[in-house]
Amino acid sequence: MNKFEFQNPVKLYFGEGEIAKVAKEIAPGSKVLVTYGGGSIKRNGIYDQVMAALKDCIVIEFGGIEANPDYDTLMRAVALGKAEKVDFTLAVGGGSIIDGTKFITAAMNYDGDPWDFIVGKAPVPAAKPFGTVLTLPATGSEMNCGAVISRRATKEKYAFHNAKGFPQFSVLDPTAVFSLPKRQIANGIIDTFIHTTEQYLTTAGSPRVMDRFAEGVLLTLVEIAPHLIAEGTPSYDDCANFMMAATMGLNGFLAMGVDEDWATHMIGHELTALHGLDHGVTLAIVWEGTMNVMRREKEAKLLQYAERVWGITGGTSDEIIDKAIAATDNFFRSLGVKTLLGEYGIGEETIVAVRNRFEERKWNLGENGIVTPEKVEQILRCRL
Ligand code: NZQ
Ligand code: ZN
């Protein structure tokens, strides 16, 4: 078990109707910048609930933040927030809106070129205060201090972390899931699944209690996924379990005392940057490659995963691992997601481009830097 430090200051409000509690968290008379996406919140009633909770505040809106939030769009929000001297920012949306807002609230405190702190050339400034109303369970962004920003102009996508940039509070109302397209539910299930494996399928000797928590998240997803993805509106209970699993998957909790991987994520980010694929889709493509290529290094945990999550036991190590990888791939495909690069018309050129990018950045990924650019190429090659 590794040494660790843990602190998570985010206050959660969880349950139907809890959006009204925003009124308790933001002082009357505050000037509030409300950030949101392409308009789903206006169709499902969440916008009206937020505005009702903010009735005693001065509201300034910034809508139109895209999925995979774009740097240039966000810079317009930064200019607006600075000009209006807002007291508080409220993100209403999924990971893209929350991440975008983490950037906006940090950049409002920064005088230089904010791209520098995204790419690690400058320290990330403390963020101005913000909260979130989550509408899509997936990223855990509502309860962590990470953000991922895209820059379409240069086809780049980078993650940054800001220990002084957690949301002050997040409202998790599971009824938000009712209006989600099945494609986004699939993305959210896969994202949560792979956040969990990034912190679980690494080295032997991690805390037993964390292994069991991680397996609990994975088993819950496998159990509820068919209900969530079936035609029609899922039950409140399934939506609530989905939302809780997503938040617990990436709020720092599962990372206590464990080695972390994140290679699948970093490779996936490049596929989004170069081809615009949904984040969840990129993970479903890359994951199997990472597990295949790194199977010796991850052997003990892959065998444990096979047995405890999929009930697979008999055979040689390689046979068991092959079956566990196939079971996971079937699971992703059962959500309607294709998992091969070729199925998205992506080939050789992209594999070379990703390897070159990682070589230029001198990035060795994975637990203890075991996923070199050469391994990245192998990982992608077995997903053609
Ligand atoms: O823009 P609107 O109209 O709101 O529609 C959105 C968007 O098109 C829609 N949507 C959201 N909630 C809805 C809804 N539609 C109907 N009903 C609702 N209740 O869903 C679409 C996708 O939204 P988005 O916010 O992009 O999805 P997600 O939450 O999956 O976020 C993806 C982004 O998060 C980053 C990803 O890289 C990507 O940029 N990540 C952030 C992480 C973090 N901060 O810790 C970790 C993750 O690994 C991930 O990298
Ligand atoms: Zn993710």
- What the block records as the tokens of 246 is 């997503």
| Summary count for the chain: helices (H), strands (E) | 15, 8
- For residue 67, report the distance from its CA to the centre of ligand 1, in Å: 6
Q: Where are the domains of the chain?
A: 11-175, 181-381
Q: What is the pLDDT of residue 61?
A: 98
Which pLDDT tens digit goes with each residue over 268-321? Answer: 999 999 999 999 999 999 999 999 999 999 999 999 999 999 999 999 999 999
Using a CB cutoff of 5 Å, list residues around ligand 2, an ion: 191
How much is the average pLDDT of 335-349?
A: 98
The bound ligand whose nearest atom lies closest to the alpha carbon of 269 is: 1
- For residue 251, report the distance from its CA to the centre of ligand 2, in Å: 12
Q: In whole angstroms, how far apart are CA 49 and each of 54, 173, 177, 244?
A: 9, 11, 15, 21
Regarding the beta carbon of 134 and ligand 1, being less than 6 Å apart is answered: no
Q: What is the pLDDT of residue 18?
A: 98
> Residue 238: which H helix or E strand, with range?
helix 236-249
Select from 118, 144, 148 the least CA-distant residue to 272. Answer: 148
- For residue 100, report the distance from its CA to the centre of ligand 1, in Å: 10
CATH of domain 181-381: 1.20.1090.10
Q: Does domain 11-175 have CATH number 3.40.50.1970?
A: yes
Regarding the beta carbon of 144 and ligand 1, being less than 6 Å apart is answered: yes
Q: What is the pLDDT of residue 49?
A: 98
pLDDT bracket for residue 171 (50, 70, 90): very high
Regarding the beta carbon of 135 and ligand 1, being less than 6 Å apart is answered: yes
Q: Whose CA is nearest to atom 40 of ligand 1?
A: 139
Q: In whole angstroms, how far apart are CA 50 and each of 41, 89, 305?
A: 10, 12, 41
The Cα–Cα gap between 140 and 295 comes to 27
- For residue 19, report the distance from its CA to the centre of ligand 2, in Å: 25
How much is the average pLDDT of 361-378?
A: 97
Q: What is the pLDDT of residue 126?
A: 98
Judge contact between 148 and 99, C-beta under 8 A. yes
Regarding the beta carbon of 304 and ligand 1, being less than 6 Å apart is answered: no
Regarding the beta carbon of 217 and ligand 1, being less than 6 Å apart is answered: no
How much is the average pLDDT of 362-368?
A: 97
Q: What is the pLDDT of residue 313?
A: 94
Q: What is the pLDDT of residue 332?
A: 98
pLDDT bracket for residue 343 (50, 70, 90): very high
pTM score above 0.75: yes
The chain-wide mean pLDDT, for the chain, equals 98
How much is the average pLDDT of 19-38?
A: 98
Domains 11-175 and 181-381 share a fold: no
Q: Which DSSP string do the residues of 147-214 spell out, in sequence order?
A: EEEEEGGGTEEEEEE-TT---SEEEE-GGGGGG--HHHHHHHHHHHHHHHHHTTSS-TT--HHHHHHH
**Strands 88-93 and 156-161, bridge-based pairing:** unpaired
Which pLDDT tens digit goes with each residue over 106-155? Answer: 999 999 999 999 999 999 999 999 999 999 999 999 999 999 999 999 99
pLDDT bracket for residue 34 (50, 70, 90): very high
Please report, as a single letter, which amino acid is at residue 198: E
The bound ligand whose nearest atom lies closest to the alpha carbon of 74 is: 1
Which pLDDT tens digit goes with each residue over 73-116? Answer: 999 999 999 999 999 999 999 999 999 999 999 999 999 999 99
- For residue 146, report the distance from its CA to the centre of ligand 1, in Å: 14
pLDDT bracket for residue 64 (50, 70, 90): very high
pLDDT bracket for residue 341 (50, 70, 90): very high
In degrees and rounded to multiples of 5, residue 18 shows phi and psi of -70, -10
